[in-house]
A and B are shown apart, each in its own frame.
Chain A
């Protein structure tokens, strides 16, 4: 008899800036730090490359949480990208909250290339937040459900 695994496994999409967090994730790996395998990393050239639609699209395709990681303010490879991203994401998160989507499903964190430890900690805490929030029901697209 096949045992069904009913434990909730969230799907987390992480948009990581090529110049910092992506390397930070690499460093977390080489340092053998643990973070959940539920996190799927998408490399972007800068945190401001993340179109708000990417986030909505991720939710549509079944993500339970979306996190955007960029360089610390002031350290952007393109000088100002993350400042714009910060404003854009604030506006978007506020709108999602306004529409009644649970708080905490989206997050922005600044992680540099040297902060492997911070990357792992961030992902651990974000995944535990999403597990406590449960499945994404309010921004899901039933047609995209695979299970």
Chain B
């Protein structure tokens, strides 16, 4: 796939259809992938990578890239294409300045899952349909089942379909049935005391690095509430349990109805807080109360929070349904 992508990118660069390419390159380690812009065939040959570790969502970079001179080529995975379409819907990107090549995705490997299995010093990774093989500095070749080392978001993948692209490299997938709300339902079934303890435990690890906000393709405000010194939630470490919850409620609420559930927030969290569970709670609620809605699936429908119907339920419904009192 990587060779096909590089070849196609070179073609488009040579034809002058685009003047730069947005892709991924290896950072300090092979699993340490960083998004990058390439402007020449030499650079592509030298640095461009696409493998089981290239999980980063590129669509947020297009907000800035699409404002620049000339067309940019972007490789979008299914998840990224949802985010990109949502950005189009919000008029945050210039669609005509972006040439999108859709690429199929069979799930990305979570380095933390590999580390948890005692695998370290990885120097290369190869994947097949259901297994990944890693080479390490200790001259080992370790093969593990892919399902065991995927990101949570990939295990519960919602769609393998690229929803917007100018061309597809390879076969486009389909929307899949996923169990992504099971974890939320499990939490909902707990008592409030258990839930409170669970979230205190998770959120108290937060170091307020703001990585979840910075990476989120839905968080594209020029001026963010978390940078406002008068907001009381400006960039600073949480002083007590209230501020921990405050930041996370606000962050999740700001993307409610716009979150495509790409799972980037949980991926980048250095403290491994399951942030996607907060986003999914909003998605689940809105699906149940206001009808199924998938952000980024199209550009026409109105998101649930900027829409209403005369016979919406009353807020008290929250206290009546499910869960224990």
Contact = CB atoms under 8 A, between A and B. Distances in A.
Given A53-B250, A88-B305, A100-B196, 5 more contacts: A56-B249, A89-B315, A90-B289, A95-B249, A98-B281
Interface in B280-310: 281-282, 285-286, 289-290, 304-310
Nearest to B308: A83
Contacts, number: 112
Contact of B232 (A57, A59, A73): A57
A52 B307 CA distance: 17
Given A87-B308, A100-B196, A100-B197, A52 B253 contact: yes
A97 to B, nearest CB: 6
Which 7 pairs between the two chains have the least Cβ-Cβ distance? A100-B196, A83-B308, A100-B195, A141-B242, A103-B319, A90-B315, A93-B318
B79 interface: no
A91 B193 contact: no
A108 B310 contact: no
Interface of A: 52-53, 56-57, 59-60, 73-74, 80, 83-84, 86-104, 106-108, 138-143
B5 to A, nearest CB: 40
B192 interface: yes
B246 interface: yes
Nearest to B192: A100
Contacts of A92: 249, 253
Contacts of A88: 305
Contacts of A80: 308
B197 to A, nearest CB: 7
B198 A100 contact: yes
A106 B245 CA distance: 16
Contacts of A84: 305-306, 308
- The B contact surface, by secondary structure, is helix
19 contacts: A74-B310, A83-B309, A86-B308, A86-B314, A90-B312, A90-B315, A92-B249, A95-B282, A96-B249, A97-B318, A99-B196, A99-B249, A100-B192, A100-B197, A100-B198, A101-B192, A103-B325, A138-B196, A143-B239
Interface string B241-270: 011011001101100100000000000000
Name the prevailing secondary structure of the A interface residues.
helix
Among B187, B193, B289, B318, the most chain A Cβ lie within 10 Å of the Cβ of B318
B314 A99 contact: no
A88 B127 CA distance: 44
B116 interface: no
Contacts of B278: 95, 98
Nearest to B253: A52
A138 B200 CA distance: 10
Contacts of B47: none
Contacts of A99: 195-196, 199, 245, 249
A54 to B, nearest CB: 12
A98 B315 CA distance: 14
B323 interface: yes
A74 B313 CA distance: 14
A94 B285 contact: yes
Which of B249, B313, B314 has most A Cβ within 10 Å?
Answer: B249
Contacts of A59: 242
